Structure formats: structure tokens, C-alpha cells
A and B are shown apart, each in its own frame.
Chain A
Amino acid sequence: MKNIVLGQYLPGQGFFYRMDPRTKIIGVIALMVAIFLLETIPQLLIALAIGVVCMLLGRLSIKRIAKGMRPLFILLIFTFFFQILFNKEGSILLQETLTISLASIGAIIALTILWRLLAKLRRFRFLLLLGYLAGVYFSLAYLAYGYTFASFVFTVYERGVEMSVFVVIRLLVIITLSTILTLTTKPTDLTQGLESLMRPLKVIGIRSDEFALIISISLRYIPTILDEANKIMAAQASRGADFLQGRLKDKIRQIISLLVPMFIIAFKRSEDLADAMETRNFIPGMKRTRISELAFGKTDILATLFIVSSLAASIVLRVL
């Protein structure tokens, strides 16, 4: 538990790492706007290709980025089916009457049992899910035997398929962009960049430096508190409160035995930290110097040029 990777930051080399966090933050926002301005699938594919080339030039592993996006896969699949089911424009591609009958219900139950049995093969999880869904669809479409409960017409329109592909690619590109940002920027650099960018907000009374301090202290203490939580769990487990065993009633009691010491330790730690900061002459609101100042370098100029030209290109494409 000593070195927890916070967020997704992965140490590495390449120009993405050398860039100023401010350039990266503004760049990601600007490129997202540019992506939203694009209107056709080929344009998006070109954008995706440019993105992949940039990742290769920046020596980022595409495998690693895909891994970071895994939790969002469900969102992508959901968006895909949502578009197909509810977009009713263009010509009809497929029309099928789906029947809920005794035979199809039986088939679905059998499929579900088979799917759960095969769930041990975690590597093929995704393929299995697709196979299961396809199986459900076919049993609804063709197994209309026995007593029929209800039936409805399922139609897929041309525009629906087109839009679903479009939306999924767009989401994919946008997620890739933000993944590159979080993968190549340390959380502390990210907050420093945000602080620097939000400094003009001082005019309307928002103090970005205090904000950044709060965020960086919280980030710093997440691993510490986690470490502490582990120790508390071990201490309570050695008094017979194993968090992996026991009934629900016991579990609630075990969670209390974890939360109370955790809050007390967290409060004590924050008081200690406040004292330690004051002894080192920390005064809220005073201007502080930093060990590592943000610097705008050659890479940043190139990156800015690239970002501005991409944004301009997508505006031009949109207007034409």
C-alpha cells in the first residue's frame, strides 16, 4: 500500500510528459470542442487517426490507454444500443416481430444459466455477453411456440445505425483525449495548472491558490488514509471482526468499528498538519513561491500550434 497510483498517472517519457499542464488542460478542452464541431463519420475517423498518430509519436502505449477506458465501455455499449433502438429516421433496415412465448422464455432461461456457468472464463467476458444478447434476440424472434404472452415489432432504421456509430466514435475520441491528460499528468501538476489557469478569477472573489492547496492536500492524504484503514481493519480482524466473513448484522458493526477510528485518526492528522504548517510559517492568503515553476517550452508552442490549427480546421469544415 506504500505507492498507490492516484488517478491513472503512469510515469514515462515522451513529449506529452514534458508539456506544461496548462497547455494540456486547455488543449483537451479546445480539442473536445473541435470534435463536437465535426459532423460526419469520415471526419471523426480522420480525427481518431490523427489522435493515434500523436499517441505513437508521444510513445504512449495504446494498450494502456485502452485499459484505462475499460470502465467506460459499458457507457459506450449503452449509447450504441440506445441510438439503435430509439432513432427512427431514414429507411428501414430490419424489421422483425418479437414474441414472448413459453418456448422463448424457456430458451432465455437456459441461455442465462449457460451464461452464468461460463462466467468463469473472465477473458471472454465481453464476447460471452454479446453472444448472450444475440441468443436472447434470436429466441425472441424465432421461437414463437406454445402460449404467447405478448408480441411487438422491432425495427432498425438506417439513420439509427449511422448515428450510433457516429456517437460511439465521438465518445471514444473524447475519452481518449481525457485519458491522455490524466495518464501523463501528475495529480499535483494538474492542480497546479488549474490553479494557474483560474488565477484571473480572483477578480470575482474566487481564490484559486487556496482551492489548489485544498485539492493537493486531499490528494496527498488519500493513500495515507487508505493505509490507515488497512491497519484498522487488521486490528479489528484480530479481534474476530473479519471483514470478509460474517452475516449482515455483524458486518454493520464491523463497519462502525472501522469508521470511528478512521474519523478520529483523520481529524487528529489534520490538526497535526495544520500545526506543522504553522510552525513553518504558513499564512493563508500570502503569496508562496514554488520549487518547480510551470514553464512554457518549445513542445508547448508546437502543441498550441497543433491545437489551434485543428480547432480552425473543424470550424472551417462546419461552416462550409
Chain B
Amino acid sequence: MGIHFREVSFHYPQNQLTFYQAIADITLQIAKQDEFICLIGRTGSGKSTLAQHMNALLLPTEGSVEIFGSLITNKRDKKINYNLLRKHVGLVFQFPEYQLFEETVEKDIMFGPLNFHVPPEQAKQIASETIKLVGLDETYLKRNPFNLSGGEKKRVSIAGILAFDPDILVLDEPTSGLDPQGKIQMMELFKAIQAKTGKSIIIITHDMDLVYEHASRVIVLHDGSLIYDESPEVLFRRGDLEQFHLQYPNTIKVLSALRDRFGLDLDIYQKNLPDALLAIKKAVAR
């Protein structure tokens, strides 16, 4: 169960003669339970394309993707209910503007559950539960989604996916456009969802602090190829990340600068601010 990529390549056709290869020869496995994966890579490296393969929005040009037992290949298979696959894997797009369309937030959150044949009464119930889950209160349910701020729209769009309770959550830059407080809240929400239900969560992001602090596994794409698939502890101990246009987390950058500037005996691999402070204190005391 879960998602299994086997030598997947995808071409975007450009015109009759040429195509643009977005991802090439990718093989990876995502378990249904307890994964917290961050998908990183520079702009245009194929992250979003890969994410859209995870719920069969795009069909692989070559290779195959197995999603919860259904084998997705290049040809649309009449026996597979593609719509139902999307109930298993919920994908939140980067820009909420592409998703919101109803006149109230409540109706918009109910859109997903209704498409998957949840009774209207129950869908209403779900809407008022999920809106609280994403950090907004019930007064938002009656508001027009187009009059919300960018961060609020983002939360509503995430609620729209959470509402139909997918088995795996895929989020394309869920924290972009949120203030620092909102980012922390959002990440806590995802952690809480995972702690409660054990769902696997996949996040596309450019925020290395977030990757280092939360991810249990990092997948790095570069020019459409998968180059690293390992834990963040191993990844950020590598010295060659800059050649793939990737940065190191702020804690590592600051601590290594301090170590080099003052010659401290310092463990620079600290995942968050309190730990980093503790490490500095320890080093200074020595």
C-alpha cells in the first residue's frame, strides 16, 4: 500500500517536435503510515510534477506509479476510478486562488466531501470541524472566500483537502505566504494530524529550517532527477548542497560561522533554536 514509483519519466509536450522533460527515471516508495517527507529542489526541478503524479493528475510518460494498489501507466485504464484515488491521496496546490470558488467558505470546504458522496449534513459537520483544525474559527464559515487575506485563503484551501480525510497528504508549499507565526502553527497542525492518525505527509518546500526540524526523510530533485533520498541528518552533513542551489538550515549556518570565527568546540548540527542556544552555552562554558 502507499505510493510506489517505478522508473517514472514525464514529458510536457511543447509542440509537435519537441518536449520538455520534467522528471526522469524516478523510483521511490512512500509508505501509507508515519512518513514525514520533505520534497526539495530549486525552482523548475520537477517537484510539483512529481507531486501531481502521486494522485494521478498526471500520468507518467514512461514507467508506472502504483497508488494504493492501482497501477497507473501512460494509458487511462477504464477499470481504475481515478477520482477515487484522489480520495486516498489529497493534494493541496500552492495557490489557493486556483481552488476557491464557492460563495462561502463552508460550501467550499464541503465541495470535496460532496464529490466523494458524503451526505450533506455530515459534510457540514466536517466543515465546522476542519475550519477549527486549520486555526480559524467558525465565524469564517459564512464569509466569502475571496474577501479573506492570503494566509486565510491558504488555510481554507488546506481545510478543503483535509475535509475528505485522505490517507496521504501532499502539500505544495503550504507555508508560503504565511507569516512566521502562521508557519509554526501550520507545521504544528501537520505534526498533530500525523500524531493522531499516523497519515503520511509530504511537503514541498524551500524552507530548509522547516525541513531540518520536522522531516523524517528528504527527497532532493535536481533537473528532474532524484539525487538524494535520505534523512535530513545525513543530507545536511553533505558538503555539496550548494551546487544544487540548496541552502543549509539557519542553525547550521550560524553555528558553523560561530565555530569558525571563535574556534569553539561546537556541535553545529542542531535542529532548532533552543537546542542551538544550549549548544552555544555548553561550548562557551568549556
Interface residues of B in 91-110 (CB under 8 A from A): 91-93, 95, 97-102
Given contact pairs A2-B20, A241-B111, A241-B115, A236 touches B99 in the complex (Cβ within 8 A): yes
Q: Are A257 and B83 in contact (CB under 8 A)?
A: no
C-alpha spacing A23/B83, complex, angstroms? 53
What DSSP secondary structure best describes chain B's contact surface? mixed
What DSSP secondary structure best describes chain A's contact surface? helix
Q: Are A235 and B112 in contact (CB under 8 A)?
A: no
C-alpha spacing A18/B161, complex, angstroms? 53
Q: Which of the residues B14, B15, B101, B161 comes within 8 Å of A238, measured between beta carbons? A: B161
Q: Are A235 and B99 in contact (CB under 8 A)?
A: yes
Q: Are A239 and B97 in contact (CB under 8 A)?
A: no
Number of interface residues of B (CB under 8 A): 32
A231 within 8 A of B: yes
Given contact pairs A234-B52, A238-B91, A242-B83, A260 touches B57 in the complex (Cβ within 8 A): no
C-alpha spacing A244/B82, complex, angstroms? 10
What chain A residues lie within 8 Å of B146 (beta carbons)?
264
A246 within 8 A of B: yes
Q: Are A238 and B111 in contact (CB under 8 A)?
A: no
Contacts between the two chains (Cβ within 8 Å), count: 75
Q: For B163, give the chain A residue with the smallest CB separation.
A: A239
What is the 8 Å Cβ interface bit string for chain A, positions 229-271, against chain B (1 contact, 0 not)?
A: 0011011111111101110001000001100110011001000
Q: For B92, give the chain A residue with the smallest CB separation.
A: A238
What's the minimum C-beta distance from A256 to chain B, rounded to whole angstroms? Answer: 7
Q: Are A240 and B116 in contact (CB under 8 A)?
A: yes
Interface residues of B in 2-51 (CB under 8 A from A): 12, 14-15, 20
Q: Are A3 and B161 in contact (CB under 8 A)?
A: no
Given contact pairs A245-B82, A264-B146, A238 touches B97 in the complex (Cβ within 8 A): no
Q: Are B57 and A234 in contact (CB under 8 A)?
A: yes
Q: Are B160 and A261 in contact (CB under 8 A)?
A: no
A150 within 8 A of B: no
7 pairs, CB–CB < 8 Å, chain A vs chain B: A238-B57, A239-B160, A240-B83, A240-B87, A241-B111, A256-B101, A265-B98
